[in-house]
Amino acid sequence: MSARTTVDLLWLEGRIERWIRFGRIVQETIRSRSESTVGFDPGAIFAFVRWSSNDFGTALSRIDILRAVHPSERCSTVPHVSPGGEMLLRLSGWPKVEAALLAIDQVEALGLAPEDVCPDHWRHVHNRLTTGLSPRAYTELRHDAWLKRRAVTA
């Protein structure tokens, strides 16, 4: 069993789109112009976006922010992700997915990589958007506190 978490990506313009919004990809296998598989080391945080349409418009719009797990850890299963991951955020429906993408943009506007922010922030974004509330913005102060907490517990 591989220690890496793999994600199968697909891009069929206007029909099916599965892509990584952020995360440190450490392995990539290109199978065709539209299909590839990427890998993440255990502990890596990444965002996986899935979208599909049919003759009537959007059929699926979903974003998952996951932490890649070690082989012995329990995890949530997610289609196209093997073996799965620790769920930090899971939203479906375009308004919520769009709000999550805006939260990612807000973190990047601070000059931070979204995969480096406190995992609790993504849980917070999930909880707030699930209940129809706006998430609080991630700040440099909160990020500094996260880095210090991580240094003490590492």
pLDDT per residue over 16-37, tens digit each? 999 999 999 999 999 999 999 9
- What pLDDT does residue 41 have? 97
- Residue 122 sits at φ, ψ, to 5 deg, of -70, -35
- 2 has a pLDDT exceeding 80: no
DSSP-assigned letter for residue 17: E
- What pLDDT does residue 55 have? 80
Q: What is the DSSP string of 97-115?
A: HHHHHHHHHHHHHTT--GG
Please state, as a whole number, how many other Cβ atoms lie within 10 Å of the Cβ of residue 22.
Answer: 18
pLDDT digits (tens, 9 = 90+) for 58-80: 789 999 999 999 988 999 999 99
pTM over 0.85: yes
Amino acid at 76: S
Q: Alpha-carbon distance 15 to 139, whole Å? A: 37
- What pLDDT does residue 4 have? 95
Average pLDDT, the chain: 95
- 1 has a pLDDT exceeding 60: no
